[in-house]
Structure 1
Amino acid sequence: MKILIIHTAFIGDIVLSTPLIQKLKDLYPKSEIDYLTLPTNQSILYNNPNLNEVILYDKKGKDKGIKGFLKVLKILKQKKYDYAVIPHRFIKSILLAKLAKIPDIVGFDVATGSSLLDKKVHYDMKKHEVERLLNLVGYEGKKIPVRIYPAKENFIKIEKMLKISGYTGKKEQKLILVAPGSQRPEKMWPIEKYREVIERLKKNNNYFIGITGSKVEKELSLNFENDKNVIDFRGEISLVEFGALISIADVVVGNDSSPIHIASGFEKPFVIGIFGPGKRSLGFFPWTEKSNVIEDNEFYENNIVTIPKKQHKYKKDYYKGISLISTDRVYEEIIKRI
């Protein structure tokens, strides 16, 4: 059996789909599972033993427009898939599967173009996103963790980088990872507040603070060049190497973005998310019991900020209260969890 997953959303969404990959392999152990996604998401799926192939669709780059769509469609037609699972809730993903003549296509009832699906699954807003994705294959059983798969060389690189800064993993040493960025700037807690928290943490010589993020996020003003116990990993490591780093961290703190979801897949760290109001109720909180979400609900409950009624207006107005979350609140949560 040949199975195709189509998901061309953000990195965090791909991370949350890894339990779906695992469950599909459990259900169809002899199947070949391919995954169609964006080039920026490729490293999340690197080394995943349950995948046969990752097919890249650069829909915002070289595959933009109808020419790129047809190029990818041709690849899918040649593969002759038996079954397609589409977490992505947009018509283009469904059209790819339909035009590739995949005989059995499942997706969500809220997706644009859902009438083209062979099976529509209810998108239950009361559930976590991982649970919703697992519902696509009819699973509602024991919790399946999110997973990425760092290789041995990834761990070796991270250990070398930490050792240079004096972190050797001694019991009294604590590794705190701070992920200040996001692909959506409106989700970000103010960078000056992250700076203040780091300034307070670095006063303890046994606390090693790793600032993580992409090369682009290096532009965020968080430079601590003369502080040996503050390590800037931004733009220096891949996402799968970031996974290796997370596996030895004590605490990971960040915005509602992919680092928080990646951290949920590892046993050691306590995960602290700084989220918009009620985001937990929308199903995008960390998928681990060792976590806490700092939300700004009280600012909305007291009408300091008003939540828009229409979901598509959330992008700016929905997150206005994040900047009101105090540094004391975040700092104290980190200290509590170390």
Structure 2
Amino acid sequence: MKVLVIQQRYGIGDMVIFTPYFHAISKKCKSPITILAKKSSKAEELFLQDKSIKEVIQLNNTNDGFFGFFKLLDEIKKKKFDSVVIFNGSLRYKLLAKLAGIKSIYQYPLFISKDVIFESAKKLSEKFTNLPVKTETKLILDEINHNLKKKYIFDKEFLHILLGVSASGPTKRWDIKNFINLAKKISQIKKTKFYIAGGKNDENIISEVLNSDIGKNCFSLLDHNINECMFVIKNSNFGIFNDTGFLHISAAFKKKSIGIFVDSPAYSYSGYSEFIYPVVPEGESIKTTSHNTRGKDKVKVEMVFSKVLDILN
């Protein structure tokens, strides 16, 4: 059976959250699936070694939007899919599937909004597979990158901690000085190497870490691609993150991962995994922390350090 799965959210973390549903669909069909995804989700890199994923069709400037619809339709038609699973409530993708001649269409209710990302995905996947589907994520990375293995020595004398300082906007980003002060406190109880993960727009804040008192034990992953970052994350002990894609990659490698949620839906982006330890602003709960919480100044260093001690103990 040839199955197309459409997951058009922009983020890397979003894509990682959907991995158990991709795997469940592939297992049910007894064949690898094709994913239609935004280029920004980095799906091609995330699933480079995943045998459940046959192909990633990228949504980009040429086949996305109104004018790209018919180019995308031609591409989908040629592949002659038997079924499609659409992880959104868009009329556009339902129309695409029908015009492409796909007979079996599974989709969220049209125009669905304000859903819990993993709950909606689980429900649709279980409808397709007619089986229970777990929400815990998994990424595949078996091949060793020999250059990185030479560069990074994950010796047991040190703790190896990821610091995910990036975020999709300034209101979602815990202040970089907090990360530095937290790292200082950790270094006082155990010799530690810190691996600083961020995007191209985070160069200034990463430089602030590298030029700080803890800088000599810090390594920037700024120039690393997603697969290289995955290698470092997989070999680290645990991580401390803003609400960023690196948080979800870490959890997918079964690493204990502290997620600092200050202005995004904490439950939606942590409730799916036992490996995510959410921290939310004072006065908020996991269920109440969402968009427009604007709580970056209400998460104290001691709150996050307490989670670190829980992990170490």
TM-score tier (shorter): 0.7 to 0.9
- 2:243 aligned partner, one-letter code: D
Paired with 1:175 and 1:137, the residues of 2 have a C-alpha distance of 40
Unaligned runs of 5+ in 1: 115-121, 302-306, 309-313
Task: Find the residue that maps to 1:298 and give its secondary structure.
Answer: coil
Identify the match of residue 161 of structure 1 among 142, 151, 155.
151
Q: Does 1:47 align with 2:32?
A: no
Task: Find the residue that maps to 2:85 and give its secondary structure.
Answer: strand
- Relative to structure 1, the CA distance from residue 97 to residue 289 in structure 2 (aligned partners, 3 Å threshold; closer, same or farther) is same
- Relative to structure 1, the CA distance from residue 176 to residue 128 in structure 2 (aligned partners, 3 Å threshold; closer, same or farther) is farther
Structure 2 partner of 1:217? 202
Identify the match of residue 180 of structure 1 among 148, 151, 165.
165
Q: Answer whether contact 1:36 1:57 (CA < 8 A) is retained.
A: yes
Q: TM-score, normalised by structure 2?
A: 0.85
Question: What is the 5 A alignment of 1:1-338?
Answer: 1-9=1-9, 10-29=11-30, 31-40=31-40, 41=42, 42-58=44-60, 61-109=61-109, 111-112=110-111, 125=116, 128=119, 131-132=122-123, 134-138=125-129, 141=132, 143=134, 145-154=136-145, 156-163=146-153, 168-170=154-156, 172-203=157-188, 206-221=191-206, 222-225=208-211, 227-234=215-222, 236-267=223-254, 269-276=255-262, 279-281=265-267, 283-285=268-270, 287-296=272-281, 298=283, 315=291, 317-318=292-293, 320-338=294-312
- 1:149 aligned partner, one-letter code: I
Q: Deviations over 1:177-207 (max 9, x none)?
A: 0101122443222223223223433456721
Q: How many residues align?
A: 305
Structure 2 partner of 1:119? none
Shift of 1:124: 6.8
Shift of 1:142: 6.1
Structure 2 partner of 1:118? none
Over the aligned positions, Cα root-mean-square deviation in angstroms equals 3.0
Shift of 1:151: 4.3
Unaligned runs of 5+ in 2: none
Shift of 1:96: 2.4
- Relative to structure 1, the CA distance from residue 259 to residue 145 in structure 2 (aligned partners, 3 Å threshold; closer, same or farther) is same
Q: Answer whether contact 1:177 1:253 (CA < 8 A) is retained.
A: yes
